[in-house]
């Protein structure tokens, strides 16, 4: 493994995915290639049906790509089987879903501790970690509640805590603000930014909300399963408002079908 490789946290190489439905193939990913460096907060934008969830699910090993490679810290994840796969899913990646994906019959505390219970972590270590993360996310007072007793914003913070508890190398988030109102979405974005900056977590977030995307340090725009454009925020010189303006302009171009002018 050379130095160039060790610096990249995630490498996605010429990824293709076709779904077969009633004998008719849908080409969801048509050759996607990009790298994510440690500490990046990467956004992925694109119209509905452009392949964003498929991409994230391939990285999460929820689905298998038709061809291409995905490497995490230089290791090809597609060769994983059995134990390696559950180790990868359980402790290398954290997945934040639009609909939170909490277990309804477990309390906040139990939901958050679930990834650790699979990994046999001792109780006092687990409790200390839980207290730290819950304090950071401001959810200490909902730990004994069930998901049905929490607001949307609280549920997503509990889900974020469940992601953080196993110290994943990368957090994958699929439209994490999609089910939240504007104000709650903004406060979740601020927390994710803190998770990225203060807790040095690498995040890969799918969103079609330009506001949420403006918190990212880099954005890939996907159209019809290929990368169509990339924006980089000039940190720290560029304000979030300015970056937001640039995102809107790319979105307008995509919407106007003028893909070839960029």
Ligand X SMILES: Nc1ncnc2c1ncn2[C@@H]1O[C@H](COP(=O)(O)OP(=O)(O)O)[C@@H](O)[C@H]1O
Residue 54 touches Mg ion, criterion: CB under 5 A: no
- Helix %, strand %, coil % for the chain, to 5? 40, 25, 35
Distance of CA 232 to the CA centre of its chain: 18
Q: How far is the CB of 216 from ligand X (least distance, A)?
A: 17
Query: Tokens 């940190």 label which residue?
Result: 235
Q: Angle, to 10 degrees, between the axis of helix 123-137 and the axis of helix 152-164?
A: 140
* Cβ-based nearer residue to Mg ion, 53 or 202: 53
49 touches, from Mg ion, ligand X, none (C-beta below 5 to 8 Å by class): ligand X
Among 50, 53, 154, 214, binds Mg ion (CB under 5 A): 53
Residue 207 touches Mg ion, criterion: CB under 5 A: no
Residue 52 touches ligand X, criterion: CB under 6 A: yes
Residue 166 touches Mg ion, criterion: CB under 5 A: no
Query: Tokens 């969830």 label which residue?
Result: 53
State the Cα–Cα distance between residues 215 and 36, nearest whole angstrom: 16
Rg (CA), the chain: 19
Residue 205 touches ligand X, criterion: CB under 6 A: no
Interface pattern 6-25 for ligand X (x via CB under 6 A): -------------x-x----
Q: How far is the CB of 234 from ligand X (least distance, A)?
A: 27
The span of 24-32, 53-61, 109-117, 189-197 binding Mg ion (CB under 5 A) equals 53-61
Question: Residues of 193-231 as b/e, b for ≥16 C-beta within 10 angstroms?
Answer: bebbeeeebbbbbbbbbbbbbbbbbbbbbbbebbbbbeb
Among 3, 48, 122, 260, binds ligand X (CB under 6 A): 48
The H-or-E segment that residue 216 falls in is: none
Q: Which residues form the interface with Mg ion (CB under 5 A)?
A: 52-53
List of residues contacting ligand X (CB under 6 A): 19, 21, 26, 28, 46, 48-54
């Amino acid at each position: 493994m050379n130095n160039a490789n060790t610096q990249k946290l995630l490498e996605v190489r010429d990824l293709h995915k076709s779904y077969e439905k009633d004998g008719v193939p849908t080409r969801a990913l048509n050759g996607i290639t990009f790298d994510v460096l440690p500490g990046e907060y990467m956004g992925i934008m694109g119209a509905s049906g452009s392949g964003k969830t498929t991409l994230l699910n391939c990285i999460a090993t929820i689905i298998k790509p038709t061809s291409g490679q995905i490497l995490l810290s230089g290791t090809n994840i597609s060769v994983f089987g059995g134990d390696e796969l559950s180790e990868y899913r359980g402790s290398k990646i954290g997945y934040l879903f639009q609909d939170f994906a909490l277990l309804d019959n477990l309390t906040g505390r139990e939901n958050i501790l679930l990834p650790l219970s699979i990994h046999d972590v001792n109780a006092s270590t687990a409790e200390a970690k839980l207290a730290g993360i819950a304090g950071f996310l401001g959810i200490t007072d909902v730990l004994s509640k069930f998901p049905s007793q929490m607001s949307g914003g609280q549920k997503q913070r509990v889900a974020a805590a469940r992601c953080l508890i196993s110290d994943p190398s990368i957090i994958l988030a699929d439209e994490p603000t999609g089910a939240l109102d504007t104000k709650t979405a903004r406060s979740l974005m601020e927390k994710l930014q803190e998770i990225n900056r203060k807790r040095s977590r690498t995040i890969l977030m799918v969103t079609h909300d330009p506001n949420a995307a403006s918190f990212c340090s880099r954005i890939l725009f996907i159209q019809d399963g290929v990368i169509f454009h990339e924006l980089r925020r000039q940190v720290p010189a560029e304000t979030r408002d300015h970056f937001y303006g640039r995102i809107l302009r790319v979105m307008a171009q995509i919407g106007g079908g003028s893909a070839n002018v960029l």
